[in-house]
Chain A
Amino acid sequence: MGFDIAGVATLTSPGTTLSVDGASNWMQVSANGVLTRPQAPYMRGQLVGKGAPYNSGTGPLMVSADVNVGGCWNDASGYWTAPVQGFYMATLGALAGSAAGSGYFSIRKNGGDLNLNHWNHAGGWHYVTLSTIVYCEANDYFCWVLQSVSPPTNGFFGDGGHGMYSIALMA
């Protein structure tokens, strides 16, 4: 049985569920105090059919989402758009290569680079990672990018698997 608070929320018991429409859980506290937010925007994906190596040039890495809760990730543009103000965790794991050379990878938010990282190796595939928490206002947008890849035929492995990409709004 729920308790309606002035038309803006319904509290239920045992535990508490917050929702305006009474149907979709926005925030739930279970009977033993575990908090979840089932509508929290989230994506995870990979690079598929892009070649190996794949260099996205000056544009975003065109990650294909396997899960896209809330529809904030756009496969066609390679951008995540923040639906609300908050802190978004973003992760990347990738293989960089394959010839001897170097390159940079980073998060690009609203056109500015964050979390610049680098590889420089003698050849083959070099496993690289990036994790961060990006603060966003509503409608800010960000993507993963490569920069200064040398030689330009180098890049990330882009033919499925061998890497992972994810973003989620933190509590």
Chain B
Amino acid sequence: MGIDMSGVGIYKNASNGVTLHYVNFNSVGQGAAGSVPGYMGWQAGGSNFYAAPTGWLINAVNWQAYLNTGNGVFTCPVAGYYAMGYNGIHNGGSGIPAGYNTFGYAGFAKNGALSYFVHWNQSTGTYWNTGGTSILFSCAAGDTLALFVNRSPSPVGPDSQGLNYGLYPNTHNYIWCKLVG
């Protein structure tokens, strides 16, 4: 039993809860909208840390909508607040030659502009920095969001771009984004 209001329905669903257009609740009021602006993905494959000054590629996803898996850029479908985050391991590692600097930066850019970034810095060695960050962006429809690693104008380490030091691929990195309000 339910009611249709100019095409927007409200009715009792199979869980003895309520569906209000795209919002679904179960019988004790636990529910959420069914729309999916966002993604959770990672870069699969690869075995070397690398910088991504033109955007971190996300070529595998657990779920996604509005993500370009060819370049890792997400386009906001509607105006709102978007939560975004990443986790991963940064170099060192055994591939860093003695005497080279391992520090670097990563950050999220809106419409290509890098506003905030995080930093890692450690001596050469066989150890890694476990890192990541999260943030909320206010966006208009059509704005783009992406993760960048060692991209100017963040202070770039002397060897981070030249020797391609950065974040580790091979399913040791996860990036996510979702409309939250």
Contacts and interface: CB of A to CB of B under 8 A. Distances in A.
Interface of A: 5-9, 18-20, 24-27, 35, 37-41, 70, 83-87, 89, 96, 114-122, 126-135, 138, 169-171
A136 B63 CA distance: 10
Contact of A9 (B18, B88, B127, B180): B18
B117 to A, nearest CB: 16
A interface majority secondary structure: strand
B180 A170 contact: yes
B102 interface: no
Among B27, B63, B127, B172, chain A packs the most CB atoms within 10 A around the CB of B127
Main secondary structure of the interface of B (DSSP, over half): strand
Given A85-B24, A133-B176, A117 B87 contact: yes
Contact of A115 (B29, B30, B87, B127): B87
Contacts of A171: 32-33, 180-181
Interface of B: 1-3, 10-12, 15, 17-18, 20, 23-34, 36, 38, 40, 62-63, 83, 85, 87-89, 125-128, 130-132, 134, 171-172, 174, 176, 178, 180-181
Nearest to B11: A8
Contacts of B33: 171
Contacts of A115: 87, 174
Contact of A39 (B28, B38, B174): B28
